[in-house]
Amino acid sequence: MVAARAGAAKVTAVDCSSLATGVAWANARGRGLPIRVRRGGLTVAVSEGPFDVVVSNPPYVPSPPIRLVGPAGHSHRWDGGPDGRAVLGPLCSASFELLSPGGALLLVQSAVSGVELTLRELTSTGLRAAVVRRERISFGPVMRRRSRYLESAGYCGRGQHEEELVVIRADRPTGVRG
């Protein structure tokens, strides 16, 4: 919505959650914003692109190998896989293709999910990537629910209740073809 309000010629929102896409669609319509909302994952996003700007907050919290969906709000939509990279890795691999020449990706992730690996994966595709913001925050609800797993898997220290979030910017150079 910020992009549409700022005058972006075309805005596309993609999410795998039908609830999230329904809320995005209703908010865009209610505000009279020209936002195309699509339900799906990375394949749908790639088919809609390329984009000048991609903003992504993918699932990045490491999760036990087997997750149960239940009334307590546990959902596979928040699962980043055992190392937090189940969505991050494929997103990094597809980022060059997602972006127009001169386009930029802004990606948020937790430091527990391998910031250096994300930077390497993005640059290996031909993008220029760097951390542009770091901030320590208290664990949110997903990290709190998974704190025992995170401790046992070595992603955080015993009794740790804070994480570092980072914003990574990756730019696709102009004149470079995929």
Domains contained in the chain, CATH given: 1-40 (no CATH), 49-171 (3.40.50.150)
Q: Rounded mean pLDDT of 80-102?
A: 94
Mean pLDDT (the chain, rounded): 89
Residue 71: which pLDDT band, with cuts at 50, 70 and 90? very low
Q: Rounded mean pLDDT of 157-178?
A: 88
The model's pLDDT over 76-89, given as tens digits with 9 standing for 90+, comes to 566 788 898 999 99
Task: Tell me which H or E stretch contains 30.
Answer: helix 18-31
DSSP annotation of 144 reads H
Q: Rounded mean pLDDT of 65-69?
A: 59
pLDDT value at 73 more than 50? no
Q: How far is CA 160 from CA 85, 107, 123, in A?
A: 21, 24, 31
The dihedral over CA atoms of 24, 142, 115, 95, expressed in degrees to the nearest 10, equals -30
Q: Tokens 């220029």 map to which residue?
A: 128
Residue 107: which pLDDT band, with cuts at 50, 70 and 90? very high
Q: Residue 87 has which token pair?
A: 């969505």
What's the pTM?
0.87
Q: Rounded mean pLDDT of 93-103?
A: 96
Q: What's the chain's Rg over C-alpha atoms?
A: 17
Residue 17: which pLDDT band, with cuts at 50, 70 and 90? confident
Cβ atoms of residues 3 and 12 within 8 Å: no
